Amino acid sequence: MELSSLRSRFGQEGVQFEQLGEDLSVVRLQSQLGSVSIALNGAHVLEYSDASGAALLWLSEKANLENGKPIRGGVPICWPWFGPHPEDSEKPAHGFARVSQWELIDIKDERSDGGLAAELRLTDSEFSRSLWPYPFELRFRVSLLLGALGFELTTHNTGERAFQICEALHTYFGVRSIHSTSVDGLDGVPYLDQLESMERKDQKGTIQFDREVDRIYLDPPTKAWVDGSRSGKRIEIESRGSQSAVVWNPWIDKAKRMADFGDEEYLEMLCYETANAGPHVISVEPGEQHTIGASIRAL
């Protein structure tokens, strides 16, 4: 939808539309609770600042800001598979939701407490059916909440056959330095090490970083915390509808191999992903729905 149509249909106080990069349409919500920008490409949350002005998310300076391409940073939506396609490596990594053009369908003005939310939708198309043969409707709601940003991704099975999905809200957090960053809340939780043939290990204490880390934590507690954020505040992530958490930092070599990632940028980011990945496959029956959600806040 053209910017002019978006403005005429949804424009109101605290809701702006802009174009970024080549052709990215972005909706920006602003209230006394903070601000959030969402690209219609992938329903991709690009940035979020809370009421204190703390900017929680990280976006690569080399990110592709083009329709049809994944955006490096913010909150990519991985759906309906996580990582490389299990059978066909030609298919887009992390599924097609993050490289599809979503439709903005509603702006919820809960302004009594400054709340403002955007609801976006993606339904099956010739493109999606060429990759994954099921009818579906995806709804993604992004909410400016009191002290937090909330995400909810709901999968509706609109077809006649059950289907299975994996998914992740692949959130990139900005940190001052990865060398002084840690993730707390996963002590004792088992994980699959994606760098060592999915070997199962147990987390001991906080997660610290001195090499590439790429782990799928199994049945973690609903809350985890990142210490070392750019704002200096502790970041709390609360997840729901999720049985996995993915923690990732590419470190030096992988950072160099990614064209849309600066060689030194591994120093300033960390992914903590609310997910259903690895062994956690979600089956959705015809007519049924499934929701995964998260909220992030600077304490």
Which residues have a catalytic role annotated?
Answer: 170, 273
- Local structure of residue 106 (DSSP, 8 states): E
To the nearest whole angstrom, how small is the minimum distance from the Cβ of residue 172 to ligand TA6? 10
Q: What Cα–Cα distance (Å) separates residue 253 from each residue in 170, 207, 257, 296?
A: 21, 20, 6, 29
Q: Is the dihedral of CA 30, 141, 242, 265 positive or negative?
A: negative
Phi-psi region of 95 (alpha: psi -120 to 50; beta: other; left: phi over 0): left
Of 93 and 218, CB closest to ligand TA6: 93
To the nearest whole angstrom, how small is the minimum distance from the Cβ of residue 168 to ligand TA6? 7
Give the distance from CA 286 to its chain's centroid.
26
Angstrom distance (rounded) from CA 294 to CA 239: 4
Angstrom distance (rounded) from CA 89 to CA 95: 11
Rule CB under 6 A: which residues touch ligand TA6? 70, 83, 93-94, 170, 194, 214, 246, 248, 271, 273
Of 1 and 93, CB closest to ligand TA6: 93
Of 7 and 280, CB closest to ligand TA6: 280
Give the distance from CA 185 to its chain's centroid.
20
Strand pairing category for 182-184 and 207-208: antiparallel
Angstrom distance (rounded) from CA 226 to CA 213: 15
- Local structure of residue 234 (DSSP, 8 states): P
Of 27 and 245, CB closest to ligand TA6: 245
To the nearest whole angstrom, how small is the minimum distance from the Cβ of residue 197 to ligand TA6? 13
For 72-87, give the secondary structure using H, E and C: CECECEEECCCCCCCC
Strand pairing category for 115-123 and 136-145: antiparallel
To the nearest whole angstrom, how small is the minimum distance from the Cβ of residue 191 to ligand TA6? 12
How many Cα atoms are found within 13 Å in the side-chain-facing hemisphere of 131? 22
Of 83 and 147, CB closest to ligand TA6: 83
To the nearest whole angstrom, how small is the minimum distance from the Cβ of residue 275 to ligand TA6? 8
To the nearest whole angstrom, how small is the minimum distance from the Cβ of residue 271 to ligand TA6? 6
Of 76 and 293, CB closest to ligand TA6: 76
